[in-house]
Chains A and B, each alone.
Chain A
Amino acid sequence: MIYLDYAATTPVAPEALTAMLPYLSDAFANPASDHAPGRMARKAVEKARAQVAALIGATAEEIIWTSGATEANNLAIKGALEFRGLDNAHIVTSKTEHKCVLDTCRHLESLHGTRALSVTYLKPGSDGCVTAQQVMAALTPRTVLVSLMWVSNELGTINEVEKLSTMLRERGVLLHVDAVQAAGKLAIDLAATPIDLLSLSAHKIYGPKGIGALFVRKRPRARLAPQLHGGGHEQGMRSGTLAPHQCVGMGAAFALAATRLADDAMRIATLRDRLWMRLQALPRVHRNGSGLAAPHILNLSFEGVEGEALRAMLPGLAVSSGSACSSATAEPSYVLRALGRDDALANASLRFSLGRATTEAEIDLAAQQVIDAVLWLREISGEPGVADIPAPTDNAFDYPAPVWAQFLEAGSNSGEFAPGTPGVQTMRVENRASASWLALHLRLVDERIREARFTAFGCPVGIAVGHWLATQAVGKSAAELRALTATELCRALEIPDDKLHCALMGEDALKSIASL
């Protein structure tokens, strides 16, 4: 398995893990406890706080621990707005923010009030970037907060937050920056950059999951209403028992990132460029977000292939198709749609994100796997053939066994007949909702189907249906084929209910067979 999903999560660095372990065993005390073991835990937490601060040019007392970046983003936006009063307030953000920023903004908009809060969602340019100028133009006298990510988690593109921070400071508007993908990748110096609030995550930079932090500027002081109430931990801004092993792990990861930043960035950018160069061997590949980019992310859309089939073809490659947080829904990325990609192209996109352990050999192998998969799927949809593309062998997404078996064999009877072949009838049906299509090509001799082929664009189930029908058709009469129903197809291939539309597409193709 080649892991190219470092923007979703990273392994914990051995240095961080080693630092964490004592705080899981002997040094387990509650850092809020006022006894010797408690003070020892507190000391470790405070050292880690200073390590986190050091990477971003902040002071330790400006770091508020949270359970992760989602909580940090929630705290920054809701906390700032609640402190200033929601009535009549205005927020500027972008359509390509992380889901938790967008969901938080939408939640604030939905709160009922006589003078409701409003949010402007800026659309990035075709390069994937939001410019400082764009933000400034969206400000109104009511604007109290701008929330903009430093580096896009999907595209890797860099927004002009440094330039923006100075401009907003002059206007007296608070700036919150989601720096989850920027920390450890770009040099950040908050002593010189007047950002008011900045969110950090540990598990994106080789620290543990379940911990993050919010930078809250002291001078001038950014004021927040707390979102988690309780014992008054974290200067009253975030209650809850701290987990010293987590804090220490994040501190160690940030300290490590500080020493490695320049080397990591250069090496990883070189590998990223190598991957992009290799994949450009394929025609009709589009890079999403062409603007200035962080070193570790490459987001591509592949024309002429369906997204789910592409992912199924790459069982040995851990990559993301959109933000992991919304992968469960498997909807086309809203970020790519915001860039103007249509649903089909947005769906057929992969985000490669590279990390410290990524090697040149992995990059080359990954590129080859992607090229093979795209060419194979394009061939299934009738594009000029490419010889000897191996089919995938690992049913990583747990398709029903008959579906998977048919899918693997799909190359054997895909494609159209040579133009001018006598007695050929083609039935082509589409499914608008899933943006897929299936075509059966039947060659008839003496009222019987002598030879059958298919072409298809769709998920593995749709392709399996095409292959199975083409196999079944041989030797049958038109009437016999027309009698075959979607129910029988579902039974034969064990097609699950949520893929019923694939079976129906097959039935529709058979129904349209003309009388012979």
Chain B
Amino acid sequence: MMQKILQYSLLGQSFFLSAGRAVYWEGQRALVLSDLHIGKGGHFRKAGIPIPEQVQEEDLSRLGELVGEFDPKKIIVVGDMFHSAANSDLDKFKRWREAHSQQEVVLVKGNHDILKKEKYGEMGVQLEQDGYGLDNVVFYHQPPETAEGERFTISGHLHPGILVEGNGRQRLRLPCFWLPKDCLVLPAFSAFTGLFLVKPQAGEKIIAIADGELIPF
């Protein structure tokens, strides 16, 4: 399914937010996403909880579609790319990687990324321990508590979601992009993740994802 995109201007440059739960930075030809949690289903299955394998297949096929759509040079994952210790789900990712070997993959280490160091190299993933910078944007797994002066941050970790309320006492929870001051917090990429509801302060923007569409708040 073709996901809706929304062009967004930051620091005078063009960013495309996608309802496929990622953002494309045109100037750097970089696709940025967070919280992919590869191997989560496998981790559950190893503990006797039968989560269907299709869950990860769908995540990876959506990632493939985004790569096809934007043709990035680089894929930056701002943490929690892998869920836990190694399991056979990683082999599936390796196959995906072989089919998408043109792109460089950079991972900013998240709290879930606990694989042995050499594993990342084997999968063609460049591991960055303490954040990563491009131009005047820095990538951290966790959103910083205070804005870092001139620089803009892109992060993940929170799995941000928004509670929408309307007349007739309607309530909905939706995954979203959250834009506090000088920061962009990405929605969790994997569909097998929960939501952390954020309450935007004045001046902060939220772009919610619903039915493959993007709705700014």
- Whether chains A and B associate is no
Q: Which residues of A come within 8 Å of B, CB atoms?
A: none
